Amino acid sequence: MLALLQRVKEARVEIAGDVVGAIQTGLLVLVCAERGDTEATGDKLLAKILKLRIFADEAGKMNRSVQDVGGGLLIVSQFTLAADTTGGNRPSFTNAASPEDGRRLYDYFVAQARASHPVVQTGQFAADMQVSLVNDGPVTIPMRIAT
């Protein structure tokens, strides 16, 4: 699975002008399931995200996790993270999971996040979403967990 984490002061997702998910301090998590990913892959990714020390401690060092600071998670599906741009000017998305598998793994990931963390908001799978954020730092971290 792939994820792009952005440490945010605030973030929200809108669909057709309606806010469907919003957080204050925390992580915007753009997530993509790839072919061959399983629920175990999602579990590993979530565990890493929740423990990743990218928030400042009293000394200003990145030494705290989203759990340590009580931050929120805004989880948004984004199959375009699987883009392969090596062969020309049109990206290929053949590495992305099928829509059915992508939805199943996204729903599983969100359910596990809600069971493990108190503040979880989401976008909507396969919707045309507008995502707004105030990136804190900026801190943006790509992640890949192999199956």
147 catalytic per annotation: no
What CATH topology corresponds to 2-144? D-tyrosyl-trna(Tyr) Deacylase; Chain: A; (3.50.80)
User: Is 37 in a helix, a strand, or coil?
Assistant: coil
**Quick check: is 80 catalytic?**
yes
- The answer to pTM > 0.85 is yes
Residue of 6, 25, 78, 121 marked catalytic = 78
> Is 79 a catalytic site residue?
yes
Rounded-to-integer distance, Cα 81 and Cα 23, Å:
22
Residue 40, token pair as written in the block: 């175990």
| CA atoms of 44 and 102, how far apart (whole Å) | 16
Tens digit of pLDDT at every position of the chain (147 positions): 999 999 999 999 999 999 999 999 999 999 999 999 999 999 999 999 999 999 999 999 999 999 999 999 999 999 999 999 999 999 999 999 999 999 999 999 999 999 999 999 999 999 999 999 999 999 999 999 987
Residue in 55, 79, 109, 122 annotated catalytic: 79
